[in-house]
Structure 1
Amino acid sequence: MNSNKVISISKTVAPIMLGTAVYAFGLLYFIIPSQLMEGGVTGITLLLNYAFDIPIFLTTLLINLPLFLLGWKVLGGRQIVYTGVGIGSLSLFLWIFERLISAGWIIPFSTEHDFILAALYAGVTLGTGLGIVFRFGGTTGGVDIVARILGRNFGWSMGQIILAIDIFIIGSSIFYIPKEKILYTLVAVFIASRVIDFIQEGAYAAKAFTIISDEAPQIADLITAELERGVTLIPAIGAYSKQAKHMVYCVVSRQEIRRLSLLVKSVDPRAFVIISDVHDVQGEGFRET
């Protein structure tokens, strides 16, 4: 294996391990001290920990093995290798943080009354960890494998899939933990799902302008001159008029929205303008790949 390939693999494996470390920390620092729940396989491991004091790093590894074999058949190739990295590193970091907490090196977050803070911090931490793992093509096993399979086959958001499965599993735990803890847990799970989607879609948000006008070429020239943004002219035909015209497509930062709108109106006040959200913009003038 040449050095370039090793570097390429490391750029994927390292973030996956970082994500599992953040996720493991969130579980042991926010979830367990407040006796909150989680969904999926993690929820099962937490119940076993609360009921029988079984280390969650051990049950996480054992329960994920059959799911890993399922993923091996369905996902295959490099993706399942990264899933194996996620499962292994999650169990490893759970073991490490458990030892650090037991030794007193880390003092767990604990509150007797304000569980909403624990839920908020847990949601952000767990969502950040899983979002990083998913963004780089890995999973932490459990329902993550199921979510990735459904996301690939049906195009559903992984955050939404995990949210639905987690609500079902957490709801089933009402017989084992107080119902108020379940409600706080749902807050954490919802926040985590939003953070997952945010990280996967990209932290940088921009706006895409689609402009339909008889003065499209002039508008495109003005955008290029005034904003120094790339512009694409797309041939189109009006369905009613049957006349050929052009559409202008341009992506700008949030700070340039008003300026671009004024430029369009200065050329054609009757132009039809569509403004859409854009995530994770790459290329000149935005985030470089």
Structure 2
Amino acid sequence: MLPKFWRQFRVILPILFGAGVYAFGLLYFIIPNKLMEGGVTGITILLNYAFGISPSLSTLIINIPLFLIGLKMLGRRQMIYTGVGIAALTFFLWLFERMIDMGWIIPFQTQHDYILAVLYAGVTLGIGLGIVFRFGGTTGGSDIIATILNRAFGWSIGQIMLALDILIIGGSLFFISKELVLYTLVTVFIATKIIDFIQEGAYSGKAFTIISDHASEIAEIIMKEMDRGVTIIPAIGAYSKQAKEVAYCVVSRQEIRRVHNIVKSVDPRAFVVINEVNDVHGEGFREELHH
């Protein structure tokens, strides 16, 4: 029982932390500078700009029916971490609102240097959402809508979310200037890149696929000189019908030139394909500890 609880806790804790970072970014950078955000969060910001409604209150009111619909259509298992994300976002929005009201937090507000606000907003929102997504959670809203529409009509989740973002950010033109909308697009771009970085993993590298008549010799040198594992894959040339060997290995970015030099020194005519790889686990990279 305890190990199962601990596994759940190890997933839920990062979702709580990510939701807190995201809520902080909204209240510290986005709202004070009249910027925007996509999805249902963007609706809560618009309601705040138009009617002064608390973001924590509108987040809760909008997400409760969406969560109940999602629970019915998508199932309890898929929605459990979404529920955690919604509850955490609502709580942290409420908490930071109270802290701002009491003067414990002074939001970053600027009238001139919006670039600084945009950069930090994008990084903060990206880190928060990236952590939430990486551990299987969401902050509700448009994620639920997109998943339901995908199940019902087969539409792409990415396209649905993009359409919702365009609609909501476009609607903000009634409340904020075109200049701030353009700044918002920069924020969204930065946040998206940070989310991708966290999702794909900081531990990235390059995968070498080496097709050569001397693949075994190349593998031996890589293993000996670089202490990297290499896999030899038997293959057959589609045109020549001759048996070949393919060497496959993953190295860090700093080792790309060394592998190039080894391959060329053994077989200058080797056919080499280099691919980007992300979130590399295993010996020589990130080790996963299992208890």
TM category, shorter: over 0.9
CA distance in 2, matches of 1:8, 1:155: 34
Following superposition, the deviation at residue 198 of structure 1 comes to 1.1
Amino acid in structure 1 at the alignment position of 2:213: D
Following superposition, the deviation at residue 165 of structure 1 comes to 3.3
Give 1:1-289 correspondences, 5 Å limit: 2-146=1-145, 162-163=161-162, 165-289=164-288
1:103-138 per-residue CA deviation (whole Å, 9 max, x = no partner) reads 000110010111121111111111110010000000
Task: Return the TM-score normalized by structure 1.
Answer: 0.93
Amino acid in structure 1 at the alignment position of 2:16: M
Indicate how the Cα distance of structure 1 residues 254 and 20 shifts in structure 2: closer, same or farther if over 3 A, else same: same
Indicate how the Cα distance of structure 1 residues 106 and 155 shifts in structure 2: closer, same or farther if over 3 A, else same: same
1:131-153 per-residue CA deviation (whole Å, 9 max, x = no partner) reads 10000000000113345668999
1:194-234 per-residue CA deviation (whole Å, 9 max, x = no partner) reads 11111101112200000000111111111111111111111
What number of residue pairs does the alignment pair up? 287
Task: Return the TM-score normalized by structure 2.
Answer: 0.93
Following superposition, the deviation at residue 169 of structure 1 comes to 1.6
CA contact (8 A) 2:49 2:175 kept: no
CA contact (8 A) 2:38 2:164 kept: yes
RMSD between superposed Cα atoms in Å: 2.1
Which blocks of at least 5 consecutive residues in structure 2 are unaligned?
none
CA distance in 2, matches of 1:253, 1:99: 46
CA contact (8 A) 1:79 1:138 kept: no
CA distance in 2, matches of 1:137, 1:38: 21
Following superposition, the deviation at residue 256 of structure 1 comes to 1.0
SS at match of 2:275: strand
CA contact (8 A) 1:40 1:165 kept: yes
Indicate how the Cα distance of structure 1 residues 267 and 200 shifts in structure 2: closer, same or farther if over 3 A, else same: same
CA distance in 1, matches of 2:192, 2:110: 24
CA contact (8 A) 1:282 1:288 kept: yes
Indicate how the Cα distance of structure 1 residues 165 and 47 shifts in structure 2: closer, same or farther if over 3 A, else same: same
Indicate how the Cα distance of structure 1 residues 73 and 213 shifts in structure 2: closer, same or farther if over 3 A, else same: farther
Following superposition, the deviation at residue 67 of structure 1 comes to 1.7
Structure 1 stretch displaced more, 272-281 or 168-177: 168-177
Following superposition, the deviation at residue 164 of structure 1 comes to 5.0
CA contact (8 A) 2:147 2:157 kept: no
User: Kindly, what percent of the aligned residue pairs are identical?
Assistant: 68
Amino acid in structure 1 at the alignment position of 2:122: G
CA contact (8 A) 2:200 2:279 kept: yes
Indicate how the Cα distance of structure 1 residues 282 and 164 shifts in structure 2: closer, same or farther if over 3 A, else same: farther
SS at match of 2:63: helix
CA contact (8 A) 1:210 1:250 kept: yes
Following superposition, the deviation at residue 163 of structure 1 comes to 4.8
CA distance in 2, matches of 1:29, 1:224: 50
CA contact (8 A) 1:162 1:193 kept: no
